[in-house]
Amino acid sequence: MLGKMYLKRKFKEYDQGMSELFADCDEQSVESFDGTRIAYRTVGEGLPLVVCPGVFTTYMFFHYMKDYFSPRHQVILWDYRGHPDSEVPADLESITIENCARDLKAVLDDAGVDKAIVIGFSMGVMTILEFYKRYRKRVLGLIPINGPYAEGFGFVSESETVQDALVSGLEFLSEYTWLVEWFRPIMVTPINIPIAKRVELNPTLCSDEDMKLYFDYAAKMDWHAGFQALAAMGKYDGTDILDKVKVPTLLICGENDTWTPKRIADEMHRRIKGSEYTTIPGGSHATPAENPEMINFRIDLFLRTHFHDLMEA
């Protein structure tokens, strides 16, 4: 009982924090191809930038990007199917990277956006690659940040056998979430922040407030859907898309990202002809929250180099 009351209070704090960070955005939702409601927010006018977040997280890390670019661009942020702002689909097996790309199309259609720069973080990198594969005429440019094109669990092992075993384990947890439900209240306790900074994050760069929002969001998720989304990330392979990318592309990775090893970004850069590549010094997997100024500056330079005429139109 105390655990449920504590969670309820933390979720209320999360909702209030997100409302304050994104108070300048219009909240919208659209029914996707299978009737699942997909939530999104939009702010600003100009050349559209659409942000695809990571799995088990939302666009909270991108409030820095929203604040920086919205005076000159339309910025669209959205939540994946099965994630808290959007709806859990009737069929959990519909949570796939391919369907996330279809959901993105529904968001852009509803927002009246024909073409956009698509930005992907973590699992969002897979999403934007699949979107490009399906709807390439709607993509002006690609900006993959700290994410893989394949090997969703490359930080554990390059072995396909290990990857397949992890996918099977996640699908099992998706069905039997009660096995880990005890961990939900622990996720919103303050002790998680120093642990995360010690294990993965750059402790001098990532703010406690951003990390608090992250853990509150992860605890708020429907874990049936969350584990299914993680499994989808482990199944996806966008290798065949890389050689076919013909739009300006900016790759960004964290120097010390253990979740998406630098070798994966190196291979993307090698395979995507003419791509630009920036490594964030000291950056972990959470570079959008750790060093937003450097990322925003680098993206701004990329946009002004390749899309100056469209920005001035």
pLDDT of residue 2: 46
Q: Taking CA 234 as the corner, what is the angle to CA 230 and CA 235, rounded to the nearest 5 degrees?
A: 115
DSSP 8-class letter at 48 = -
Which pLDDT tens digit goes with each residue over 165-201?
Answer: 777 887 777 787 777 777 777 766 776 677 676 666 7
| Reported pTM | 0.91
Q: Are 272 and 245 in contact (CB under 8 A)?
A: yes
CATH number of the domain enclosing 216: 3.40.50.1820
What are the tokens at 217? 């969001």
* Nearest of 173, 205, 168 to residue 282 by alpha carbon: 205
Give me the residues paired with residue 42 across strands: 26, 76
Helix (H, G, I), strand (E, B) or coil at 96: coil
State phi, psi for 50 to the nearest 5 degrees. Answer: -115, 130
What are the tokens at 50? 């659409």
Structural domain for 152, as ranges: 2-312
Q: Report the distance separating Cα 151 and Cα 108, nearest Å.
A: 28
* Nearest of 133, 170, 158 to residue 56 by alpha carbon: 170
Domain count, the chain: 1
Phi-psi region of 44 (alpha: psi -120 to 50; beta: other; left: phi over 0): left
pLDDT of residue 163: 67
Q: Are 58 and 289 in contact (CB under 8 A)?
A: no
Spell out, as residue ranges, where the chain has pLDDT lower than 50.
Answer: 2
Q: Are 52 and 127 in contact (CB under 8 A)?
A: yes
What are the tokens at 192? 């998680």
What are the tokens at 259? 């979740």
Q: Which residue has the tokens 């006018």?
A: 45
> What residue spans of 70-191 are helical by DSSP H?
97-111, 123-135, 160-175, 184-187
pLDDT of residue 156: 65
